[in-house]
Structure 1
Amino acid sequence: MLPSELSIPFLASTAIFAFTPGPGMLYMAVQTMAHGARAGLLSSLAFHLASYIHIFAAAFGVTVLLKTAPFLLIVLKIVGGCYLIWMGIRLWKRPKTGALTAQSSKAKPSRQAFRDSLTIEILNPKSALFYFAFLPQFTTSEAAFPIWVQILALGVIANVAFSLTDIVCILFAGLVAMRAAASARLVALGRRIGGTILMSMGAGIVADTR
C-alpha cells in the first residue's frame, strides 16, 4: 500500500516504540503482579481496544480539538492522573489475603483491571497526540488509498505490535508473580509496591500539567 521509503521507516519506528518500556507496560506489569496474569492480559486488551479510539480520532482529525483547545488536554491529564492515584490507594487498602487460587476470586479483580485500563487509556491525551503526530508522517497522497484509510491501516499495525510486546511483558511478570504467590507477605508487599508506582505515575501526570 505504501512505498518502501515510507513503509520501512514506519516498521522500524514501530518496532522501536513497541520494545521500549513505557508507563503502559509498567502499569500492565503492576496489574499482573497484583492480580495475576489474567488481569494483566485483560489490561492489555483494554489498552488495545481504547487505542482504536485514538486511531480513529487521528484518521478523522478529531484530535485537532486537543490542539485548538489546550485546556481539554489539561483537564484530561488531571482526571487521568487522579484516577491512577485513586487506583494506587485502592491497591494499598486491599485486604491482606493469601495467594489467589480460586477462579472466582480472580474474576472480580480481572474485570476491574479491564475497566480501569480502558478508562485510563481513553483519558490519556498523550496516546491520542502520539497517533495524531506519528501516523500521518508515513502517509502519502500518491498511494492508492486516501489518507484516512492509510492512517487506519498503519494504526492497526502499530497497535498490534504494541499489544504483542505488552503480552510478553505480562507473561514475564506473571512468572514472577507465581513465584511470590506462595507467600501472603510477598503478595501484600507486591501490592504496596504496585500501589506506590500507580500513585507516583498519577502524581507525575498531574504535576506535569503545571
Structure 2
Amino acid sequence: MGRMPSVEMLLAFAGTSLLIAGVPGPSVAYVVARSAQHGTAAGLFSMMGLGTGVVVHTGMAAAGVAALIALVPMGLEIVGWIGAGYLAWLAVHTLRARSAEQHDDGTIAVPQRGRLFLDGLLVDVLNPKTALFFIAFLPQFVRPERGPSALQLGVLGLLYMLIAVTCYSTYAVLAGRLTVRLRGSGSIRSRMAFVTAGIYLVLAVVVLVV
C-alpha cells in the first residue's frame, strides 16, 4: 500500500495550485505592495513570511485544528476580524512611518527583515479564507488507501507552499523592477506609502466580506 499521493494526483494538485497561486489575489497584492514601496528584497522577505504561513496552515489542517476552528461558532469570523484589524494597523503604521522614517531625498526607510517576515506570516495565518482553503481544498486530493491522511496533507501542503512562493517571488521581482523604472524621483517612493496603505485597507475588507 502506498504511503504517498500518487504521481497523477500530485500533478493534478500542482496544476490546480498553480492556477490558484498564480492568479493575483490578496497574497499577491500584499507582496506587490511591499515590493513597490520598499523594493524587491522587502517583497521577498514578505513572501517568505507568507510561505511560512502556508506551512502553519498545513500543520493545522494535518492535525485537524483548522477543521476544529471551523466547527466552533464564529471561530473563523473571529480570526477574520483579527486579521482585518492587523491589516488596518499595517495601513496606519505605513502612513505614520512615511513621516517618521522619511529620508532627506524623500525615500522611506525599509522595515527590518524580521518585521517584513513577521508581517507576512501574520497576514497569512490570520486570513480565514486561507484556512478555509486548506479545509476544503486539500482533503479532495487525499486518498485513504494511500496511507495516513495527515502525511498526505503534509505533502500536499508543502507542494502548494513551493508553488505559491515561486509565484509570489516572481510578482515581487517584477513589482520591484517596475517600480524602479517608474520612479523618476525619490518622492514617488514616498507616495507609494499611500498606495500601500490603501491596498492594506482593501485587503482588510476582502478578509471580512469576500
- SS of the equivalent of 2:144 reads coil
Asked if the contact 1:35/1:110 (under 8 Å) is kept, the reply is no
Deviations 1:48-80 (A, max 9, x none): 112111101111211122221131211111111
CA contact 1:85–1:200 (8 Å) conserved in 2: no
**Deviation larger for 72-81 or 181-190:** 181-190
Q: Are 1:164 and 2:170 an aligned pair?
A: no
1:120 counterpart residue number: 123
Tell me how many residue pairs correspond in the alignment: 203
Query: Are positions 1:195 and 2:197 aligned together?
Result: yes
Query: What is the Cα deviation at residue 100 of structure 1?
Result: 5.3
- Give, in angstroms, the shift of residue 184 of structure 1: 2.2
Q: Could you tell me which runs of 5 or more consecutive residues in structure 1 were left unpaired when the two chains were aligned.
A: none
Q: Distance in 2 between matches of 1:56 and 1:174?
A: 32
Which of 76, 79, 83 in structure 1 is aligned with 2:82?
A: 79
Distance 2:5 2:113 in 1: 39
Pairing partner for 2:38 from 28, 35, 39: 35
DSSP 3-state at the match of 1:63: helix
Residue 176 of structure 1 corresponds to 178
Of 122, 129, 132, 2:132 maps to 129
**1:204 Cα deviation after fit:** 3.7
Contact 2:46 2:117 in 1 (8 A): yes
With the length of structure 1 as denominator, give the TM-score of the two structures: 0.87
Aligned structure 1 segments of 4 or more residues deviating by more than 6 angstroms: none
Question: Identity of counterpart residues, as a percentage?
Answer: 26
TM-score, normalised with respect to structure 2: 0.87
**In structure 2, distance between residues paired with 1:166 and 1:92:** 24
User: Which residue in 2 is equivalent to 1:111?
Assistant: 114
1: distance between equivalents of 2:199 and 2:72? 31
Please report how far the alpha carbon of residue 6 of structure 1 lies from its aligned counterpart in structure 2 after TM superposition: 2.7
Q: Would the alpha carbon gap of residues 196 and 34 (structure 1) be closer, same or farther in structure 2, given more than 3 Å must change?
A: same
